Amino acid sequence: MTFSAQQISALINGTIEGNPEAQINNFAKIEEGFDGALSFLANLKYEDFLYNCESSVVIVSKDLELQQEIKTTLIRVSNPYEAFATLLQKYEEFKPRKVGREAPIFIGENTTLGENEFIGAFSRIGKNVTIGKNVSIYPNTVIGDHVKIGDNTTIYANATIYDACVIGNSVTIHSSTVIGSDGFGFAPNSENQYSKIPQIGNVILEDHVEIGANCSIDRATMGSTVIKKGVKLDNFIQIAHNVEIGENTVIAAQSGVAGSTKVGKNCMIGGQVGIIGHLTIADEVKIAAQSGIGKSISKKGSIWQGSPAFEVSAYKRSLVGFKNLPKIQEKINNIEKAITKLSQQK
Protein backbone atom coordinates (compact mmCIF):
# COMPACT_ATOMS: atom_id res chain seq x y z
CA MET A 1 0.00 0.00 0.00
CA THR A 2 1.16 3.51 -0.84
CA PHE A 3 0.26 6.72 0.98
CA SER A 4 1.15 10.35 0.40
CA ALA A 5 2.77 12.60 2.98
CA GLN A 6 -0.49 14.56 3.04
CA GLN A 7 -2.51 11.45 3.96
CA ILE A 8 -0.06 10.47 6.67
CA SER A 9 -0.03 13.99 8.09
CA ALA A 10 -3.81 13.97 8.35
CA LEU A 11 -3.72 10.75 10.40
CA ILE A 12 -1.37 12.25 13.02
CA ASN A 13 -2.43 15.90 12.93
CA GLY A 14 0.92 16.99 11.57
CA THR A 15 2.24 19.95 9.59
CA ILE A 16 4.09 19.29 6.34
CA GLU A 17 7.36 20.92 5.28
CA GLY A 18 8.28 19.87 1.78
CA ASN A 19 6.41 17.84 -0.81
CA PRO A 20 2.89 16.88 0.34
CA GLU A 21 2.70 14.34 -2.50
CA ALA A 22 5.82 12.40 -1.42
CA GLN A 23 4.94 8.70 -1.64
CA ILE A 24 5.37 6.23 1.24
CA ASN A 25 5.14 2.43 1.06
CA ASN A 26 7.43 1.27 3.87
CA PHE A 27 9.03 2.12 7.24
CA ALA A 28 12.72 2.51 8.10
CA LYS A 29 14.96 3.66 10.93
CA ILE A 30 16.29 7.15 10.28
CA GLU A 31 19.86 5.86 9.89
CA GLU A 32 18.72 3.25 7.35
CA GLY A 33 16.28 5.31 5.28
CA PHE A 34 15.56 4.76 1.59
CA ASP A 35 13.30 6.17 -1.10
CA GLY A 36 9.66 5.43 -0.31
CA ALA A 37 10.28 4.94 3.41
CA LEU A 38 8.86 6.78 6.41
CA SER A 39 11.16 7.43 9.39
CA PHE A 40 10.92 9.37 12.62
CA LEU A 41 13.25 11.38 14.86
CA ALA A 42 12.34 11.35 18.56
CA ASN A 43 15.78 11.12 20.20
CA LEU A 44 18.03 14.06 19.31
CA LYS A 45 21.18 11.94 19.52
CA TYR A 46 20.11 10.66 16.07
CA GLU A 47 19.65 14.16 14.64
CA ASP A 48 22.80 13.98 12.48
CA PHE A 49 21.21 11.18 10.46
CA LEU A 50 18.38 13.53 9.45
CA TYR A 51 20.62 15.68 7.26
CA ASN A 52 21.64 12.75 5.06
CA CYS A 53 18.47 10.71 5.42
CA GLU A 54 17.27 8.96 2.24
CA SER A 55 13.71 8.40 3.53
CA SER A 56 11.00 10.20 1.60
CA VAL A 57 9.30 11.48 4.77
CA VAL A 58 10.53 11.94 8.35
CA ILE A 59 8.34 12.69 11.36
CA VAL A 60 10.00 15.22 13.69
CA SER A 61 9.09 17.43 16.62
CA LYS A 62 7.36 20.70 15.86
CA ASP A 63 10.07 22.40 17.96
CA LEU A 64 13.08 20.97 16.10
CA GLU A 65 15.37 23.68 14.72
CA LEU A 66 17.22 22.47 11.64
CA GLN A 67 21.00 22.97 11.65
CA GLN A 68 21.51 22.12 7.96
CA GLU A 69 19.55 21.82 4.76
CA ILE A 70 17.65 18.56 4.23
CA LYS A 71 16.33 16.77 1.16
CA THR A 72 13.44 14.89 2.76
CA THR A 73 9.88 15.98 3.50
CA LEU A 74 9.14 16.62 7.16
CA ILE A 75 5.94 16.11 9.12
CA ARG A 76 6.07 18.11 12.35
CA VAL A 77 4.08 16.84 15.33
CA SER A 78 4.00 17.38 19.11
CA ASN A 79 5.30 13.89 19.92
CA PRO A 80 7.15 12.06 17.10
CA TYR A 81 7.38 8.75 18.95
CA GLU A 82 3.67 8.68 19.73
CA ALA A 83 2.79 9.71 16.17
CA PHE A 84 4.97 6.99 14.68
CA ALA A 85 3.43 4.41 17.04
CA THR A 86 -0.03 5.50 15.88
CA LEU A 87 0.96 4.94 12.26
CA LEU A 88 2.37 1.48 13.01
CA GLN A 89 -0.92 0.60 14.71
CA LYS A 90 -2.83 1.76 11.63
CA TYR A 91 -0.49 -0.32 9.46
CA GLU A 92 -1.26 -3.42 11.55
CA GLU A 93 -4.98 -2.78 11.18
CA PHE A 94 -4.65 -2.84 7.39
CA LYS A 95 -3.12 -6.31 7.45
CA PRO A 96 -5.62 -9.08 6.65
CA ARG A 97 -6.51 -11.15 9.72
CA LYS A 98 -6.66 -14.95 9.56
CA VAL A 99 -10.12 -16.43 9.95
CA GLY A 100 -11.25 -20.06 10.19
CA ARG A 101 -10.11 -23.30 11.76
CA GLU A 102 -7.08 -25.29 10.77
CA ALA A 103 -6.85 -29.02 11.36
CA PRO A 104 -6.47 -30.90 13.57
CA ILE A 105 -7.87 -29.13 16.63
CA PHE A 106 -9.79 -30.27 19.70
CA ILE A 107 -12.73 -28.39 21.19
CA GLY A 108 -14.38 -29.72 24.37
CA GLU A 109 -18.06 -30.04 25.09
CA ASN A 110 -20.22 -27.05 26.04
CA THR A 111 -17.62 -24.66 24.64
CA THR A 112 -18.87 -21.63 22.71
CA LEU A 113 -16.93 -19.49 20.24
CA GLY A 114 -17.92 -16.10 18.84
CA GLU A 115 -17.87 -15.22 15.17
CA ASN A 116 -14.79 -14.61 13.02
CA GLU A 117 -12.53 -16.81 15.10
CA PHE A 118 -9.17 -18.20 14.01
CA ILE A 119 -7.93 -21.43 15.59
CA GLY A 120 -4.54 -22.75 14.53
CA ALA A 121 -3.63 -26.41 14.05
CA PHE A 122 -2.97 -28.67 17.05
CA SER A 123 -4.68 -26.32 19.47
CA ARG A 124 -6.72 -27.76 22.33
CA ILE A 125 -9.65 -25.94 23.92
CA GLY A 126 -11.22 -27.52 27.00
CA LYS A 127 -14.81 -27.92 28.05
CA ASN A 128 -17.17 -25.19 29.24
CA VAL A 129 -14.99 -22.50 27.67
CA THR A 130 -16.47 -19.22 26.48
CA ILE A 131 -14.63 -17.36 23.72
CA GLY A 132 -15.71 -13.99 22.27
CA LYS A 133 -15.74 -12.74 18.70
CA ASN A 134 -12.71 -11.93 16.55
CA VAL A 135 -10.43 -14.06 18.71
CA SER A 136 -7.22 -15.49 17.21
CA ILE A 137 -5.72 -18.64 18.73
CA TYR A 138 -2.48 -19.67 17.04
CA PRO A 139 -1.14 -23.24 16.66
CA ASN A 140 -0.27 -25.51 19.60
CA THR A 141 -2.14 -23.38 22.11
CA VAL A 142 -3.71 -25.11 25.11
CA ILE A 143 -6.74 -23.62 26.84
CA GLY A 144 -8.04 -25.36 29.94
CA ASP A 145 -11.59 -25.98 31.12
CA HIS A 146 -13.93 -23.20 32.25
CA VAL A 147 -11.78 -20.44 30.75
CA LYS A 148 -13.39 -17.17 29.61
CA ILE A 149 -11.86 -15.13 26.79
CA GLY A 150 -13.23 -11.75 25.64
CA ASP A 151 -13.54 -10.21 22.18
CA ASN A 152 -10.64 -9.26 19.89
CA THR A 153 -8.05 -11.18 21.88
CA THR A 154 -4.96 -12.79 20.30
CA ILE A 155 -3.13 -15.79 21.77
CA TYR A 156 0.05 -16.73 19.94
CA ALA A 157 1.54 -20.17 19.36
CA ASN A 158 2.43 -22.51 22.23
CA ALA A 159 0.78 -20.41 24.93
CA THR A 160 -1.02 -22.21 27.76
CA ILE A 161 -3.99 -20.96 29.76
CA TYR A 162 -4.89 -23.11 32.76
CA ASP A 163 -8.39 -23.94 34.00
CA ALA A 164 -10.80 -21.20 35.14
CA CYS A 165 -8.65 -18.23 34.12
CA VAL A 166 -10.37 -15.11 32.77
CA ILE A 167 -8.97 -13.19 29.79
CA GLY A 168 -10.52 -9.82 28.91
CA ASN A 169 -11.14 -7.97 25.65
CA SER A 170 -8.35 -6.94 23.28
CA VAL A 171 -5.72 -8.90 25.20
CA THR A 172 -2.51 -10.12 23.54
CA ILE A 173 -0.61 -13.14 24.90
CA HIS A 174 2.65 -13.96 23.14
CA SER A 175 4.24 -17.32 22.43
CA SER A 176 5.14 -19.81 25.16
CA THR A 177 3.62 -17.77 27.96
CA VAL A 178 1.80 -19.64 30.73
CA ILE A 179 -1.24 -18.13 32.41
CA GLY A 180 -2.45 -19.82 35.59
CA SER A 181 0.40 -22.16 36.54
CA ASP A 182 0.54 -23.11 40.22
CA GLY A 183 1.86 -20.54 42.65
CA PHE A 184 5.00 -21.43 44.60
CA GLY A 185 3.15 -22.70 47.65
CA PHE A 186 4.84 -25.27 49.90
CA ALA A 187 4.79 -25.79 53.66
CA PRO A 188 7.59 -27.51 55.63
CA ASN A 189 6.47 -30.49 57.69
CA SER A 190 7.87 -32.21 60.79
CA GLU A 191 10.19 -34.33 58.63
CA ASN A 192 11.79 -31.24 57.11
CA GLN A 193 10.10 -31.95 53.79
CA TYR A 194 7.84 -29.66 51.83
CA SER A 195 4.17 -30.40 51.35
CA LYS A 196 2.45 -28.76 48.40
CA ILE A 197 -0.31 -26.26 49.17
CA PRO A 198 -3.05 -26.64 46.54
CA GLN A 199 -3.47 -23.51 44.44
CA ILE A 200 -7.22 -23.24 43.88
CA GLY A 201 -7.52 -19.64 42.62
CA ASN A 202 -7.14 -18.29 39.10
CA VAL A 203 -5.64 -15.48 37.01
CA ILE A 204 -7.62 -12.52 35.66
CA LEU A 205 -6.25 -10.45 32.79
CA GLU A 206 -8.38 -7.36 32.30
CA ASP A 207 -8.95 -5.53 28.99
CA HIS A 208 -6.10 -4.26 26.78
CA VAL A 209 -3.40 -6.20 28.61
CA GLU A 210 -0.37 -7.41 26.64
CA ILE A 211 1.87 -10.20 27.94
CA GLY A 212 5.22 -10.85 26.26
CA ALA A 213 6.75 -14.19 25.30
CA ASN A 214 7.92 -16.76 27.86
CA CYS A 215 6.19 -15.14 30.83
CA SER A 216 4.63 -17.00 33.75
CA ILE A 217 1.68 -15.64 35.71
CA ASP A 218 0.77 -17.90 38.63
CA ARG A 219 -2.75 -18.62 39.75
CA ALA A 220 -3.74 -17.48 43.23
CA THR A 221 -3.66 -19.80 46.21
CA MET A 222 -7.20 -18.57 46.83
CA GLY A 223 -8.95 -15.75 44.98
CA SER A 224 -7.24 -14.26 41.93
CA THR A 225 -3.93 -13.00 40.62
CA VAL A 226 -5.04 -9.84 38.82
CA ILE A 227 -3.40 -7.97 35.95
CA LYS A 228 -5.40 -4.76 35.61
CA LYS A 229 -6.56 -2.94 32.49
CA GLY A 230 -3.86 -1.67 30.15
CA VAL A 231 -0.88 -3.39 31.79
CA LYS A 232 2.04 -4.24 29.48
CA LEU A 233 4.53 -6.95 30.43
CA ASP A 234 7.75 -7.57 28.51
CA ASN A 235 9.25 -11.02 27.83
CA PHE A 236 10.55 -13.38 30.55
CA ILE A 237 8.58 -11.99 33.48
CA GLN A 238 7.41 -13.92 36.55
CA ILE A 239 4.27 -12.77 38.38
CA ALA A 240 3.63 -14.85 41.50
CA HIS A 241 0.39 -15.97 43.17
CA ASN A 242 -2.09 -13.37 44.44
CA VAL A 243 -0.14 -10.44 42.96
CA GLU A 244 -2.08 -7.44 41.69
CA ILE A 245 -0.60 -5.18 38.99
CA GLY A 246 -2.39 -1.82 38.71
CA GLU A 247 -3.80 -0.22 35.57
CA ASN A 248 -1.40 0.88 32.83
CA THR A 249 1.70 -0.27 34.65
CA VAL A 250 4.59 -1.42 32.44
CA ILE A 251 7.28 -3.93 33.44
CA ALA A 252 10.43 -4.64 31.41
CA ALA A 253 12.02 -8.03 30.76
CA GLN A 254 13.37 -10.49 33.33
CA SER A 255 11.61 -8.87 36.28
CA GLY A 256 9.84 -10.79 39.03
CA VAL A 257 7.12 -9.91 41.52
CA ALA A 258 6.77 -12.24 44.51
CA GLY A 259 3.52 -13.43 46.05
CA SER A 260 0.74 -11.15 47.33
CA THR A 261 2.46 -7.89 46.39
CA LYS A 262 0.24 -5.07 45.15
CA VAL A 263 1.72 -2.78 42.50
CA GLY A 264 -0.08 0.51 41.86
CA LYS A 265 -1.28 1.99 38.60
CA ASN A 266 0.83 3.84 36.04
CA CYS A 267 4.08 2.46 37.46
CA MET A 268 7.19 1.94 35.31
CA ILE A 269 9.44 -0.95 36.31
CA GLY A 270 12.76 -1.54 34.54
CA GLY A 271 14.36 -4.80 33.48
CA GLN A 272 15.66 -7.37 35.98
CA VAL A 273 13.85 -5.78 38.91
CA GLY A 274 13.04 -8.05 41.84
CA ILE A 275 10.17 -7.23 44.21
CA ILE A 276 9.69 -9.38 47.31
CA GLY A 277 6.32 -10.59 48.52
CA HIS A 278 3.57 -8.95 50.57
CA LEU A 279 4.54 -5.38 49.66
CA THR A 280 2.54 -2.42 48.43
CA ILE A 281 3.91 -0.16 45.68
CA ALA A 282 2.22 3.25 45.31
CA ASP A 283 0.85 4.65 42.04
CA GLU A 284 3.19 6.18 39.44
CA VAL A 285 6.33 4.81 41.04
CA LYS A 286 9.38 4.32 38.79
CA ILE A 287 11.93 1.60 39.56
CA ALA A 288 15.26 1.55 37.74
CA ALA A 289 16.62 -1.61 36.10
CA GLN A 290 18.26 -4.27 38.30
CA SER A 291 16.83 -2.78 41.48
CA GLY A 292 15.81 -4.93 44.43
CA ILE A 293 12.69 -3.80 46.28
CA GLY A 294 12.63 -5.13 49.84
CA LYS A 295 10.07 -2.84 51.45
CA SER A 296 6.79 -1.16 50.56
CA ILE A 297 6.87 2.16 48.69
CA SER A 298 4.19 4.56 49.88
CA LYS A 299 5.25 7.78 48.14
CA LYS A 300 3.31 8.29 44.90
CA GLY A 301 5.48 9.11 41.89
CA SER A 302 8.78 8.41 43.63
CA ILE A 303 11.81 6.98 41.78
CA TRP A 304 13.85 4.11 43.24
CA GLN A 305 17.17 2.56 42.31
CA GLY A 306 19.73 0.13 43.69
CA SER A 307 19.74 -3.20 45.47
CA PRO A 308 18.50 -2.82 48.08
CA ALA A 309 16.72 0.11 46.46
CA PHE A 310 16.19 3.58 47.88
CA GLU A 311 15.04 6.88 46.43
CA VAL A 312 17.05 7.94 43.43
CA SER A 313 18.31 11.26 44.85
CA ALA A 314 19.85 9.48 47.83
CA TYR A 315 21.12 6.72 45.55
CA LYS A 316 22.99 9.21 43.35
CA ARG A 317 24.61 10.87 46.36
CA SER A 318 25.64 7.47 47.69
CA LEU A 319 27.01 6.48 44.30
CA VAL A 320 29.31 9.50 44.28
CA GLY A 321 30.70 8.40 47.65
CA PHE A 322 31.02 4.81 46.49
CA LYS A 323 32.96 5.80 43.36
CA ASN A 324 35.34 7.85 45.52
CA LEU A 325 36.06 5.05 48.00
CA PRO A 326 39.49 4.20 46.51
CA LYS A 327 40.57 7.85 46.87
CA ILE A 328 39.16 8.02 50.40
CA GLN A 329 40.96 4.80 51.31
CA GLU A 330 44.20 6.17 49.90
CA LYS A 331 43.83 9.34 51.98
CA ILE A 332 43.18 7.29 55.12
CA ASN A 333 46.26 5.15 54.42
CA ASN A 334 48.40 8.28 53.97
CA ILE A 335 47.08 9.75 57.23
CA GLU A 336 47.85 6.50 59.06
CA LYS A 337 51.38 6.51 57.64
CA ALA A 338 51.87 10.13 58.69
CA ILE A 339 50.64 9.41 62.24
CA THR A 340 52.91 6.37 62.49
CA LYS A 341 55.88 8.42 61.30
CA LEU A 342 55.16 11.18 63.84
CA SER A 343 54.85 8.72 66.69
CA GLN A 344 58.19 7.16 65.77
CA GLN A 345 59.89 10.56 65.89
CA LYS A 346 58.94 11.13 69.55
Catalytic residue numbers, as ranges: 241
Q: What share of the chain is helix, strand, coil (3-state, %, to 5)?
A: 20, 30, 50
Please list, residue by residue across 175-214, b when 16 or more beta carbons sit within 10 angstroms of its beta carbon and e when fewer do. Answer: bbbbbbbebebeeeeeeeeeeeeebebbbbbbbbbbbbbe
Q: How big is the chain by its Cα radius of gyration, in Å?
A: 27
> How many CB atoms are closer than 10 A to CB 313?
11
Please list, residue by residue across 317-334, b when 16 or more beta carbons sit within 10 angstroms of its beta carbon and e when fewer do. Answer: eeeeeeeeeeeeeeeeee
Tell me the helices (H) and strands (E) count for the chain, helix number first. Answer: 5, 40
Distance (Å, whole) CA 6 – CA 21: 6
DSSP H or E run through 218: strand 216-218
Q: List the one residue out of 84, 93, 96, 82 whose CA is nearest residue 37.
A: 84
User: Helix, strand or coil for residue 81?
Assistant: helix
Q: How many residues would you count in the chain?
A: 346
End-to-end CA distance of the chain: 92
